[in-house]
Amino acid sequence: MPKLGQPVRLELLALKQTATRLCQIADMLMPIMLVSKQDNNESRKLLKSIVFELRDDFDHCIPSHLFDEMGTELIRQIMELIDRVKQALDIRASMAKFLCQVNVAIAMSEVLLSRKLRVLQIELMPKMMRHVFYSRMNDLKGLRYLSLGSMSGGWKTSDMESTIIKGVATMKHLKALTLNYDCTDGVLRALTKSCPNLEYVDFSNSKCVTNDSIDILAKLKNLKVVILTRTQVTISGMIELLIKAKNLTDIGRYDDLGRCLEFIDQNYPQISNLKLRKFETRFATTRHIQLLAELCPDVNYVSLFHNTLLIDLMSLIALNSLSELYLLSCDFFADQVRDVLQVKGCNLTHLHLEHVEQIDMNALIYISQYCPDLKTLSLYNCVLIPSTSLYTRRYAIPPFMNLERLSFVSQCPPKHLEFILATALKIRFIQLGTQVYTSDEMFEKIFLRNPLQYLEDIRIINSEELTIETAYRLIERCPNLVLLNEIECWKRVKEYEIVQLRQMIREKNFAVRTAPLRQYAQE
């Protein structure tokens, strides 16, 4: 039996009611603003004074550790209020009246312009609301994470520059910034002066970021992650960044990273150690991996697109700190993936195999035995085949004894999936793709060997054979189950059966949600 639904926290109820009260105030102000619309200056002054008083009250009354949560709830309810205003429109409605109502609703978001706000993701807001935060960013003195999204999309970068510079001027506590398309050297200079604690920056698609920008970036001494995807920075600029940014641990996916390491090794003999911890590329050679082991001893994440002519995967065994391995386009046996796991598997916690061929039951057994501490296993579009030879059923250690997350998006014989799920006693998350065969009989066999007592989230995107009975069994037998998603995609499940299932969950107060993922996103 799953956990019972718990009462909503009082502080969460208070935050929701606070946001609701603000929207009610906006509702009450809309007719007043309409009456005084003939004198626009007076109505704007009145609205501004009311919002200022509300903002001051909320700044003093909402605890700092709850302010971000309140902000998320308020933005959600303001969006709902705007939707209600739109739905109330008819063909003869006045556009001036509509705009007045929307402006009043949006004005309520100014309550969030406080030093207590720590996280702001502007790209998640409706476009009509964003200008409030763009123009008043300098009030957000306590921000730790700021995501400005694409802003003008690169079309009006020069116009947005002054707005960004003015906004970040007061953000001395800022640690992470995402600014796509509209970053400039002027913005970078402002960051070096005002945001010395920056550790993460993402300037993807910003065409004004060039090799000349690297010197400015290097002045941010605490930078650990720099994402410059699709900017004007060339390989020489990336080399300069790796040399000058002493604390850099991650530059995202960069296909010429191996070449950068080659150049540094040949021309900068005094550099013997880089702090990079992540190596993600689609072009790598055996020499690149060897240099990675020499120059970046702390690297723990490697993502490679395998090319048989360029790279020998056995070179990976030189990476002493490797714990997360992502391999694309290779053969499990022919390309020595098995041999790599035999040597490095004892350190691996995450293994992602994509478009990997020759995976049979023996391969899965090797993974389970060579990677005893594996917590996450992902198989995407792999070729899983029936075993071509006999495989042992005696294991030196229990298979997949620490596995917690499984993403299985590959067509395979039923026994392969059954083997993993029946042995992964600590599994918490299961995602099965559209091509994975599942049935009631399979889950019955799994339950006989594994009660799935730690399972919290299961997503079976499609099934031709599963019935509603499996959903009931999962709910009854998995005490920690919270999410049972996409049962609408099970072909043998009727709509009325889903209605009955949800009614049963409500009546027994089970803490299980069965709505589609897209509905959660909207909520």
Per the listing, tokens 């609703």 go with 105
Quick one: pLDDT band at residue 153, thresholds 50, 70, 90? confident
Distance from C-alpha of 229 to C-alpha of 212, rounded to nearest angstrom: 16
Tell me the pLDDT tens digit for each residue of 120-141.
999 888 888 888 899 889 999 9
Same domain membership, residue 483 and residue 496: yes
Domain boundary among 222, 252, 282: 252
Residue 520, pLDDT above cutoff 50 = no
Could you give the dihedral angle defined by the CA atoms of residues 318, 323, 324 and 328, in that order, rounded to the nearest 10 degrees? 30
Residue 484, pLDDT above cutoff 60 = yes
Tell me the pLDDT tens digit for each residue of 280-297.
999 999 999 999 999 999
Please tell me the predicted confidence (pLDDT) of residue 516. 63
Give just the sign of the alpha carbon dihedral 51, 54, 60, 66.
negative
Same domain membership, residue 107 and residue 202: no
Residue 49, pLDDT above cutoff 60 = yes
Q: Which of 95-104, 372-381, 390-399, 439-448 has the lowest mean pLDDT?
A: 390-399
Same domain membership, residue 93 and residue 123: no
Q: Alpha helices, DSSP H only, in 108-203?
A: 127-135, 157-168, 185-194
Same domain membership, residue 200 and residue 246: yes
Does 98 map to a domain? yes
8-state DSSP, 144: S
Give just the sign of the alpha carbon dihedral 462, 466, 469, 475.
negative
For 115, half-sphere exposure in the C-beta direction (CA atoms, 13 angstrom radius) is 6
Does 244 map to a domain? yes
The structure's pTM equals 0.89
Same domain membership, residue 187 and residue 65: no
**CATH number of the CATH domain containing 239:** 3.80.10.10
Does 187 map to a domain? yes
Q: What is the mean pLDDT of residues 146-157?
A: 83
Same domain membership, residue 214 and residue 179: yes
> Strand pairing partners for 377?
351, 406
Same domain membership, residue 510 and residue 470: yes
Quick one: pLDDT band at residue 36, thresholds 50, 70, 90? low
Tokens at residue 413, please? Answer: 């014989």
Same domain membership, residue 245 and residue 175: yes
Does 21 map to a domain? yes
Q: Domain containing 101: what range?
A: 8-113
Mean pLDDT of the chain: 90
Same domain membership, residue 106 and residue 79: yes
Count of structural domains, the chain: 3
Domain boundary among 94, 113, 132: 113
CA 522, distance to chain mean position in Å, is 16
* DSSP per position, 193-256: HH-TT--EEE-TT-TT--GGGHHHHTT-TT--EEE-TTSS--HHHHHHHHHH-TT--B--B-TT
Tell me the pLDDT tens digit for each residue of 232-243.
999 999 999 999
Please tell me the predicted confidence (pLDDT) of residue 155. 79
Quick one: pLDDT band at residue 392, thresholds 50, 70, 90? low
465 contacts 492 by C-beta, under 8 angstroms: yes
Domain boundary among 252, 285, 307: 252
